[in-house]
């Protein structure tokens, strides 16, 4: 497993990166996934019955520190 972040100085698209990496991935039989880190991901927050963790996550989301769209919250009773 490896997580790497790329930033194009030439304005290349995510699709261009995927196409360019396909040959390398095939050579090494690697599985790859590329994501646009500027795109918000849809998430469900799963929290315990204690509110402090949920409060922290909601606060970070509210101020824009977490690039996510919260679609639901699940908690134990």
**Would you kindly state where each structural domain of the chain is located, as residue ranges?**
1-37, 40-77
The answer to whether 19 and 26 have CB atoms below 8 angstroms apart is no
Task: Tell me what the pLDDT averaged over the chain comes to.
Answer: 90
Query: For the whole model, what pTM was predicted?
Result: 0.59
Mean pLDDT of 11-37: 90
Residue 50 predicted with pLDDT over 80: no
Residue 44 predicted with pLDDT over 80: yes
pLDDT of residue 57: 93
Structure tokens at 34: 């590329």
pLDDT of residue 37: 82
How far apart are alpha carbons 65 and 38 in whole angstroms? 12
């Amino acid at each position: 497993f490896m997580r790497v972040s790329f930033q194009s100085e030439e304005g290349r698209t995510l699709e261009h990166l995927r196409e360019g990496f396909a040959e390398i991935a095939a050579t090494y039989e690697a599985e790859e996934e590329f994501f646009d880190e500027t795109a918000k991901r849809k998430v469900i927050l799963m929290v315990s019955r204690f509110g402090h963790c949920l409060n922290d996550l909601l606060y970070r989301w509210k101020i824009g520190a977490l690039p996510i769209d919260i679609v639901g919250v699940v908690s134990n009773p």
